[in-house]
A = this chain, B = another copy of it.
Amino acid sequence: MQSAPSIQILLDELERMPGIGAKSAQRIAYWVLNSERATAERLAEAIVEVKDKVHFCSTCFNYAEDELCALWASPARDQSILCVVSEPRDSPPIERTGTFKGLYHVLGGELSPLSGIGPDDLHITELMKRLGINEVQEVIIATNSNVEGETTASYLARLIRPLGIKLTRLASGLPVGGELEYADEVTLGRAIESRREL
């Protein structure tokens, strides 16, 4: 029992969030109750504001606040390299590595015949248009390393290869700092196949 219905409503809403169970929701609810009203308001505003402001970039389909995403305005980005990712959430991890200075193209999903997701459901036509217009010299396919991601990568490779553009895929192998003993056999097998000369 909660002595206040509004606490129960908050708990219910918090538990909808991914990764938040009953205990975490309680902890967050008590934090809200104990924090300044301004803190709670800022959080609430940030949640609604993101829904109001954020749209998809009309060219790369990444999240953006304007017609085009912020990358387009940056002179530091190399417009000749395109990184193809499945979802908008896949670009921040790549950005954090600091090793990619090109532009993105977000597919909006991955091919999955079982779930009925075909090429027409993804931003593939738009990708091909970009490759035709812009002076793209390399396409890095950074879809996930699972069945859907690999299927999508093969499909895109078949489409892009005839254009004569350099086509690459993220390497598979042991995670840096990872131990052989704990690696699954598929990853380890891939690491052996893709071994590099020293």
- Residues of A near any B CB (own CB < 8 A): 1-7, 9-10, 12-14, 16-20, 24, 26-33, 37, 39-51, 53-54, 57, 62-65, 69-71, 87-89, 91-92, 95
Contact = CB atoms under 8 A, between A and B. Distances in A.
A9 B49 contact: yes
B16 A63 contact: no
Given A4-B53, A9-B46, A10-B49, 12 more contacts: A1-B70, A1-B92, A3-B64, A3-B65, A3-B69, A3-B70, A7-B54, A14-B46, A40-B47, A40-B51, A43-B47, A44-B47
B28 A19 contact: yes
Given A4-B64, A70-B3, A28 B33 contact: no
B46 A6 contact: yes
Contacts of A32: 47, 50-51
Contacts of A50: 4, 6-7, 9-10, 29, 32-33, 40
B19 A42 contact: no
Contacts of A70: 1, 3-4
Nearest to A54: B4
Contacts of A5: 65
26 contacts: A3-B63, A3-B70, A3-B71, A4-B54, A4-B65, A4-B69, A6-B46, A6-B49, A6-B53, A6-B65, A7-B63, A10-B49, A10-B50, A12-B46, A13-B47, A14-B43, A17-B28, A17-B31, A17-B43, A29-B50, A32-B47, A33-B50, A33-B51, A33-B54, A40-B48, A44-B44
